[in-house]
Structure formats: C-alpha cells, structure tokens
Amino acid sequence: MGKLKRVLALGARYVLLPLLAVLIVTIATSLLIRSIARENNYAGGIIMSPRGIDQKLYVRLNGARQWVTIRGQDRDNPVLLYLHGGPGGVISGVSYSFQRPWEEYFTVVQWDQRGFGRSAIDGEALRGTVTRAQLVDDAIALIEHLRRKFHQRRIILVGHSWGSLLGAEVARRRPDLLHAYVGFGQVTGWESNFVASREAIRRIAERRGDSALAAEVVAMGDPPPGRDVEAFSAWMAKVQHPILPLRGAIHNARGGGDIVRWTLLTALASPDMGLGEIVTMLGDSEEWRVPLLRSAAGWDFRRTLGTRFAVPVIFVSGRYDLQAPTEAAAALSAEICSPYTEMVVIDDAAHYLVNEQPGQVLGALRDKALPFAKGQVPAGGRRCDDAPAAP
C-alpha cells in the first residue's frame, strides 16, 4: 500500500501537476489573446465624429423589451434597419465584422428579434407571442420609434434570409415608412424556398454527373406540411445537408472547419459579447423557435403578399446561394411591380454574402438604396408603370 501511495504521489507530482500547469497557462493565454482582440476591435470601432451615435439599449416594442444597437458617423444620415436571419440568428454582437464601413453612409440599427439573443430577457412573459405576425408588428413599431428618434419620415429596410420574409411583409403593409426595401438572400416562400433548394441541388448533380448526390436528392422526397414542425425540420435538414459541401452557404469556405473557425473567432473577438452570450448565440432556442416556425407555415411571397409594391424593391443575392436560391429570387424579382425593381447578384458569394463580400454589398446599398433617401433614382433597375402610388 505504501508503495502504491508513493507511485500515485510521483504521478501527481510529475504528470498531473505539469499537465494542470500547461492547462492553466493555455487558458490564461487564450483569455489574454481574447482580451487583446476585443480591445483592438473596440478601439477600431470607436465613433469619433461629434455628430456620430453609438447606442446599445432596450426599446419596449408591443409590450416586450427588445435589444437594439445603433451606430453611425452622422446621426442625420438615413437610418438603415437590418433584420437578421435565422429564425433567431441574432448578429448584433458580431455585426462589427462587416457593418462598420456602412456607418459612413447610414445610421445602422441591429435588432435582436423577440425571444432571441438579448431580447429573450422577458422569459415566460413572451410565451405565446413569438410568432411571425408579432415579429412583423414589432419591426413596424421599431421603425416608428426610429422615425421619431431621428426625425426622419422614412428609413431603409434590409432583411436577410428569414429577415427578408419579415421585411417583405413590412414593405407590403407599410410602404409609407420606407425609402426602399432590400432583400438579401430573399426568401420566396417558406416550404417552397427549400423545394427550390432541392431542385437547385438536383441540377448540380445532373450537371456534374454525380450519382451519389442525385440519389441523396431523391431520398429527400417531398416536404411534409410546414405546420408539422418536427417533420418539416427533419426534411429541411436533409435538404440543407449537401449545401455546405457544395459551397452554397459560404462559397469561399474550404470546408466546415473554416466556418467553425470564422464563427467562433468572430464571436470571441467581439467587443460586445461576453462568454455567456456566445454560448447563448451558439446554442439552440427551441422553446421560441418551434412556435415561430409553425407560424411561418404556408407563407408564400406571391400568395401572401402579391407582387405589387408601392416602395422600391431591391433583391441582392450571392451568385452561388443554395439556401435561398438566387434563381428563385431572380424569377420573383422579374414579377415584382414597384416604382423601382432591381435584382443585384454578388459574385464570388453565396448565402452569407455580407460576410463574404462586404465591399460589394455596401456598394449595392450605396448605389441602389441610398439614392432614394436623397430623393434620387439610381441607374439601372426597371419601373412598373402600374405600380401602386407611393403613400
């Protein structure tokens, strides 16, 4: 027994203690590197203009506290409200990675939609309220708030992916609030969007002569009803499975490792996010996501909203987007009747175009949306003579 104790003591002294020391040093070094990266990103984002604005605050929208960040070099610049994807894919903590150049032209507003990110603060009080219709009402209430705050009659509304579903509804219901609506990776229908993804994947399989991918597409089958969230989500996962390796989410990623590194490092280096918030961002919020998905069932752009809009409608898509296929967005754009309609395709990008090609995306916003805030009409696009009159 005494010999065993001596062996254990030696093991602890010469093996466990060095390993523990290495672990402590590794953790301490990682935390130091994170701290330096956060400070660097914070310093690089300081708004120094005397007319600038940098606010992070809760705004009460339709009875619920909701988190909003507002940044810009000149508070008199046109307000741009960004509706994040997901559902639940809040980006207010990581938007620093692409939006800072936008702040030279716009007052940029990021909003954590009801029930997600920091807008989950009201907990149980939100039960029964996290629905598509409620989020649209919240977006309208936020726009009204921003109009009063900045003394601007209209704003520019941008919706990405899931946010484009909400944004299109706002544009249809309240064109009087908007200079223009811009849909990034525009969703054309809830169920039909993923059918379009499946068909785009099938065409790739045929073009490549890829029998394995073709068999995977056949195995997907047809979608179950969207209101059966569990079954539809399982089917949707089958459709999305080949999108990443086909580079239809992030075109320039060399593999899943690139995406994991980018996601983690962008979050860890965020000047605004604590470790707990990073865990929340990367985690799942099924409690609110399930009823929200159920409320999206049956939504179809053409049937739900029609194709006549009283506000300029601009779609911006990455050329290789398979999550909200560019071909489907372009076909819809061709049917839109509005005071100004344009389909902009960003080269060398897929669904996450704001991260892959932030310069080209800013160019699209500056050249196609900003002129409307200045009472101008940009070059390109087309006008529908039968479009409803702007309010």
In a domain, 333, yes or no: yes
Does residue 2 sit in the same domain as residue 118? no
The answer to whether residues 20 and 63 belong to one domain is no
| Residues 347 and 266 grouped into a single domain | yes
Asked whether residue 5 falls in the same domain as residue 97, the answer is: no
Report the first-to-last Cα separation within the chain, whole angstroms. 90
Euclidean distance between CA atoms 227 and 231, whole angstroms? 9
Query: Residue 330 falls within a domain, yes or no?
Result: yes
Contact criterion met (CB below 8 Å) for 348 and 216: no
**Same structural domain for residues 108 and 6?**
no
Answer yes or no: are the C-beta atoms of 292 and 88 closer than 8 Å: yes
Q: Residue 90 pLDDT > 70, yes or no?
A: yes
pLDDT tens per residue, range 34-49: 556 555 554 456 777 8
The token pair at 215 is: 């068999």
Domain that holds residue 62: 55-191+251-373
Structural domains in the chain (count): 2
Q: Does 234 reside within a domain? A: no
315 part of a folded domain: yes
Q: Is 22 part of a structural domain of the chain?
A: yes
Question: So what's the pLDDT on residue 95?
Answer: 84
Together in a domain, 29 and 84: no
Tens digits of residue pLDDT in 229-260: 999 999 999 999 999 899 999 998 776 677 77
pLDDT score, position 45: 64
Q: Which helix (H) or strand (E) holds 160?
A: strand 155-160
Tell me what the mean pLDDT of segment 101-127 comes to.
Answer: 94
Calculate what percentage of the chain has a pLDDT beyond 90. Answer: 69
Rg (CA), the chain: 23
Q: Is 9 in the same domain as 141?
A: no
Which percentage of the chain shows pLDDT scores above 70? 84
* Claim to verify: residue 28 and residue 82 sit in the same structural domain: no
Closest to 165 (Cα-Cα) out of 133, 129, 197, 119: 133
Whether residue 74 is found in the same domain as residue 102 = yes
Range picked from 13-22, 259-268, 366-375 for highest mean pLDDT: 366-375
Same domain, 182 and 285: yes
Q: Find residue 342's DSSP bridge partners.
A: 314
Of 29-38, 184-193, 334-343, 377-386, least confident by mean pLDDT is 29-38
Q: Answer whether residue 263 is part of any domain.
A: yes
Type of residue found at 112: D
Helices (H), the chain: 2-11, 17-44, 96-99, 132-150, 162-173, 190-208, 211-220, 229-240, 256-268, 275-282, 286-296, 326-335, 353-356, 358-364, 370-373
Domain of 103, CATH number, reads 3.40.50.1820
Mean pLDDT, rounded, for 353-357: 93
Range of lowest pLDDT (168-182, 220-234, 258-272): 258-272
Whether 281 and 342 share a structural domain: yes
Q: In this model, does residue 154 exceed pLDDT 90?
A: yes
Average pLDDT over residues 79-98: 89
Same domain, 7 and 134: no
Let me know if residue 357 belongs to a domain: yes
Average pLDDT of the chain? 87
